[in-house]
Amino acid sequence: MGLLGTAWGQAEVLAGGTDLLALMKDDVVHPKRLVNIKQIKEMSGVTVGSPGLRIGSLTTLGELADNVNVVKDYPALAEAINDAASPQIRNMATLGGNLCQRPRCWYFRGGFGLLPKSESGKDLVTEGENRYHAILGNDGPAKFVSPSTIVPVLVAYGASIRLVGSKGSRELPLERFYVIPKTETEREHDLKPNEILAEVILPSPHEMKVAHYEIRQKQAFDWPLALAAVGLTMNGPSVQSARVVIGYVAPIPWRSAEAERVLVGKSVSEDVAKAAAEAALQGATPLSHNAYKIQLAKVAVKRAMLKAASGGAA
Ligand SMILES: Cc1cc2nc3c(=O)[nH]c(=O)nc-3n(C[C@H](O)[C@H](O)[C@H](O)COP(=O)(O)OP(=O)(O)OC[C@H]3O[C@@H](n4cnc5c(N)ncnc54)[C@H](O)[C@@H]3O)c2cc1C
């Protein structure tokens, strides 16, 4: 842990390298040290816990999607992973790297920073090309969208994570890991510079119906325009509790309390799903070129809800 340093910029953790090496080649990040964790065997693989699953952060996306317990008990997770990237990338990319990957914002990737500003201090995203940017949670300087398509499904399952640092380890719900940065020195997650993400813990899927729905511009290894993941616990025909998570609309995976309130106590019909989707996007504040995402996100939320209610992923 001592190799990692105490401030961002001193060192970066290297796992599969599918994101970090691209950022280094593009001269966007230039760490003084790379700390390769790929050989830490204890941080790889899936173990059946009591209850639930513990997934080492170095487990590749490919291994995870093929894992018999994931396929059987967390089919929406297997489905989301198989929709992500390409088989070649999934064979290199690790789950920890997926959770910690940096935003795809083209200003960030172009070297203008996470909260890009012009020399005169103008907000480059607000003034510029923002068609893929945030429509929720964008009232501060952060306008990028959270990049992982797998995280919303993990949040819908109620996943938590374990972070390990020089002073020990801490566990927190995955959704609390993501934060909206307010200054350029902050990152988009609550990882300290001297910590690594060690494992993801999934609770028992018992009685939970989970589904996800993605809307992509093209059926290729690209990122979606909007997606939703929904987890439902039922009490007979009615929803007892719900987790509604929208991806690609905000700097964090966006959990919609408004949509969840609409669902609880009802059975999920077309009309209820539509009302919940409307509620989820009611507070949207689109930028100059991305109002189209509101309708896409509503469709994703509604279809994920109906899919979850009818039994979840196939
Ligand atoms: C063409 C293409 C298409 C893609 N499509 C999708 C998609 O549809 N959906 C999707 O979700 N993703 C997609 N991705 C992103 C891909 O999933 C990530 O690049 C990958 O998961 C990163 O994992 P890695 O092990 O290679 O991480 P690395 O590149 O090694 O690291 C990524 C970042 O995470 C940090 N990091 C890695 N592991 C840890 C750890 N254990 N603890 C702390 N920090 C860590 C690194 O320091 C770095 O900042 C795509 C990527 C490409 C290139």
CB atoms within 10 A of CB 131: 12
pLDDT of residue 313: 61
User: Relative to the CA of 21, which ligand 1 atom is closest?
Assistant: 29
Summarize pLDDT for 233-289 with one digit per residue, the tens: 999 999 999 999 999 999 999 999 999 999 999 999 999 999 999 999 999 999 999
Q: Is 96 in the pocket of ligand 1 (CB under 6 A)?
A: yes
Task: Work out the end-to-end distance of the chain between its first and last CA atoms, rounded to an integer number of angstroms.
Answer: 42
Q: Is 226 in the pocket of ligand 1 (CB under 6 A)?
A: no
Summarize pLDDT for 38-58 with one digit per residue, the tens: 999 999 999 998 789 999 999
Ligand 1 centroid–CA 311 distance in Å is: 30
Q: What's the residue count for the chain? A: 314
Overall pTM surpassing 0.85 (yes/no): yes
Q: What one-character-per-residue DSSP string does 56-122 give? A: ETT-BHHHHHH-HHHHHH-HHHHHHHHHSS-HHHHHH-BHHHHHHPPP--HHHHTTSTTTTB-TTS-
Q: Is 221 in the pocket of ligand 1 (CB under 6 A)?
A: yes
Ligand 1 centroid–CA 120 distance in Å is: 33
Ligand 1 centroid–CA 98 distance in Å is: 4
Residue 236's Cβ-count burial label (10 Å; 0-12, 13-18, 19+) is exposed
- The string over 300-309, giving b where at least 16 C-beta atoms fall within 10 Å of a residue's C-beta and e elsewhere, is bbbbbbbbbb
Q: Is 16 in the pocket of ligand 1 (CB under 6 A)?
A: yes
* Secondary element (H or E) of residue 161: strand 160-165
Quick one: pLDDT band at residue 167, thresholds 50, 70, 90? confident
User: Relative to the CA of 18, which ligand 1 atom is closest?
Assistant: 26
What letter does residue 150 receive in the DSSP assignment?
S
Q: Is 199 in the pocket of ligand 1 (CB under 6 A)?
A: no
Report, in angstroms and rounded to the nearest whole number, the Rg of the chain calculated over CA atoms.
Answer: 19
